[in-house]
Amino acid sequence: MKNAKHWSEEEECTSPLGVRILYGLYRTLGRLPFWFVTVWVVLWFRLADARARETSMAYLQHAHAYGLIPKAPTRWTSFLHTFQFADTILDKFVALWGDGSAPKLTIEDDQLVFDAIKGGRGCVILCSHMGCTEALMHHGSAWGERPIIALVHTANTKRFNETIRRSGSLKNLTFMEVEKLRDPASVYALDEAVENGALVFIAGDRTPVHGDSHAVCPLHFLGREAWFPSGGVMLANLFHAPLLTMTSWREESATLMHPNRP
């Protein structure tokens, strides 16, 4: 895919009304009817967006060549891959809107987080787009009444993020536009928040908003060189704050969370 757009330049195709209808369907009838309707939404999305199909297939082919998945990907495999994104979005709203139906969260090493913040200061948490980051934020309340700050880029996802912000379940959650970190005053305010115990979540698996940014480092990923952001590491170093990584994934009736010290 030559001359591909940078991810921050992709146009949004979110329908807030559609999201609420699907979420209402889930609340009323459960996940199975939600899946039945969402299949058609995903099918339309794939038919309308050739690049989404190509990107999904390219990733699956790399994963297969690397040995991550045993069988060569097919169109059906790619469809299921896209559908999984839609199902994960439901998990995001379940976690944020706090309707009580969220799967039980199992933490592999909760003490690691308590040890990192036991002095009263906060920490920087590198998260990924795998699994449900919002479930991690929701669990953050268990580590005390600490502010939770999510560094996000909203220029191309305004409708989606506005829908998320309507959540009333996480009173201590604040979204901060990552572009504000270009302003020294915003960096100082974030440093002060960490000093007062804030948990700062930032994506550790996508390149910076500006494609020409030097805040990246090359790593070997799925048999090829890939660029990963170093902004979260730089913030933790600047704030003299502990740095953690967190990932989550759903297993049967529970969501498994894995914190780690890089």
2 has a pLDDT exceeding 50: no
Q: How far apart are CA 47 and CA 167, in angstroms?
A: 31
Q: How far apart are CA 132 and CA 161, in angstroms?
A: 15
Q: Which tokens hold the place of 255? A: 């969501």
Q: Which tokens hold the place of 50? A: 């050739």
Query: pLDDT (tens digit, 9 = 90+) per residue, 227-244?
Result: 888 888 899 999 999 998
Name, in order, each residue with C-beta under 8 angstroms of 260's C-beta and a sequence gap of 6 or more: 109, 112, 244, 245, 246
Name, in order, each residue with C-beta under 8 angstroms of 148's C-beta and a sequence gap of 6 or more: 137, 140, 141, 170, 172, 173, 174, 198, 199, 201
Of the listed ranges 32-46, 180-194, 201-215, the least confidently predicted one is 201-215
Dihedral over Cα of 204, 209, 210, 212: its sign? positive
1 has a pLDDT exceeding 50: no
Q: Domains plus CATH for the chain?
A: 7-97 (no CATH), 104-260 (3.40.1010)
Amino acid at 51: R
Bridge partners for 148 per DSSP: 173, 199
221: Cα separation from own chain's centroid: 19
Question: In the block, which residue shows the tokens 């998260």?
Answer: 127
Q: Which tokens hold the place of 254? A: 């529970």
Edge-to-edge, what's the strand order for the sheet holding 148-152? Answer: 104-107, 254-260, 243-251, 123-127, 199-203, 148-152, 173-177
Query: pLDDT (tens digit, 9 = 90+) per residue, 33-76?
Result: 999 999 999 999 899 888 889 989 999 999 999 888 999 999 99
Q: How far apart are CA 84 and CA 90, in angstroms?
A: 10
The model's confidence at residue 167, banded by pLDDT at 50, 70 and 90, is: low
Residue that wins the pLDDT comparison between 97 and 198: 198
Query: pLDDT (tens digit, 9 = 90+) per residue, 110-166?
Result: 778 778 888 888 889 988 877 777 777 766 666 667 888 888 876 655 666 666 666
Q: How far apart are CA 16 and CA 14, in angstroms?
A: 6
pLDDT of residue 114: 79
Helix, strand, coil share of the chain (percent; to 5)? 50, 20, 30
Query: pLDDT (tens digit, 9 = 90+) per residue, 77-111?
Result: 999 999 988 888 888 778 777 666 566 667 777 77
Name the H helices within the chain: 16-29, 31-48, 50-66, 75-97, 110-117, 133-139, 158-165, 184-195, 231-239
Please give the model's pTM, rounded to 2 decimal places: 0.80
Q: Which tokens hold the place of 38? A: 């969402």
pLDDT of residue 37: 93
**49 neighbors 16 (Cβ within 8 angstroms):** no
